[in-house]
Amino acid sequence: MMENSYQVVIIDAWRGHYVETPDLETEILGPYARVSLLRVNSHHELVGQIENADVVISWHTVPLPAEIITRLQKCKGIVRAAVGFDNIDIVYAANRGIAVCNVPDYGTEEVADHTFALLLASVRRIKALDEHVRNGGWDWRTIGRVPRLRDTNLGIVGMGRIGTAVARRAQAFGMNVGFYDPYISDGMDKALCVRRFENLEELLINSQIISLHVPLSDETKHMIGRHEFKLMKNAILINTARGNLIDHTALIEALESDALSFVALDVLSDEPEIPFELRESDKVLLTPHVAFYSDAVMPELRRKAAQAALRFLLDQPQRCIVNGALLKTTR
């Protein structure tokens, strides 16, 4: 294959604006491919620009549905520059013989740190105390009832890289950590000195704080809904994964009951749109989908995505294929 004979297309959204110029990607891919950046407002704008891509690097907010994937004439693979890949129709990609990989190990520390920052702010009522002082108050009793963090029960839903990193931070604070994850092999609970729950309901009943760390899929969409909220009692709920893991209508109802004492959200189902009830509630702490970020994270993510793209171009083994099982059934 001649030098620069491949084409790698980076898809970014004007709203996301993650890649200013593809300099880091060109540094890695330049000897093998022409690298182009498509910044669009919707996937419809990709028509006529993406057909000849050998590899696509997909950034947040621009979906890649079947109607776009079907236009790829010679694509070796799609790299999702993120952990989550719910913006890509991975089933249809597999039907077309196109592998999709993600970058699951970037930002692990950042998301775990942000999760724990939200946890501490929720338990210690930092939002309310800050507002109290700014309004001229100086009364420690404003904090109200606060549990001691040591021996508090933390339930982690999803014990992958990030869930495990959160568990380690919680253990350093002396918390009792349990998790629910049907896809984790037996023995992980013993290796990490945590409790394993056999079902989600058991975790919700036994946890004072619940933190979500699972990808969004048909299986996990609205996994926290009316039924699940009824199992909680004055719980703190934290979500730094995907907004649609929670049924927001049920969440708003739960905030008006005694199911939740507080909720901290870095992600929303229709972000950046924020339901009025969440925006105005003094029981809600919101951050703008920023858990992944630190100064070090973006260069790391861009380089890892480019390296994954290079492996596709050179037909090298790919470590993080997310539709591998589907590919096997179509070949």
**E strand or H helix at 10:** strand 6-13
Say if CB 226 and CB 252 are below 8 A apart: no
Which positions ≥6 away from 273 have C-beta within 8 Å?
none
Say if CB 269 and CB 246 are below 8 A apart: yes
Q: How far apart are CA 154 and CA 131, in angstroms?
A: 27
Q: How far apart are CA 241 and CA 236, in angstroms?
A: 16
Of the candidates 33, 75, 77, which has an alpha carbon nearest to the alpha carbon of residue 52?
Answer: 75
* Residue 139: alpha-carbon gap to chain centroid: 38
What is the per-residue burial (b if ≥16 Cβ within 10 Å, else e) of 148-171? ebeebbbbbbbbbbbbbbbbebbe
Which positions ≥6 away from 169 have C-beta within 8 Å?
112, 113, 116
Say if CB 110 and CB 291 are below 8 A apart: yes
Say if CB 114 and CB 240 are below 8 A apart: yes
Which residue is catalytic, options 109, 253, 271, 300?
Answer: 271
Which residue is catalytic, options 114, 161, 196, 242?
Answer: 242
242 is annotated as an active-site residue: yes
Q: How far apart are CA 4 and CA 31, in angstroms?
A: 6
Of the candidates 209, 264, 199, which has an alpha carbon nearest to the alpha carbon of residue 232?
Answer: 209
Which residue is catalytic, options 169, 196, 213, 289?
Answer: 289
289 is annotated as an active-site residue: yes
Catalytic residues: 242, 271, 289
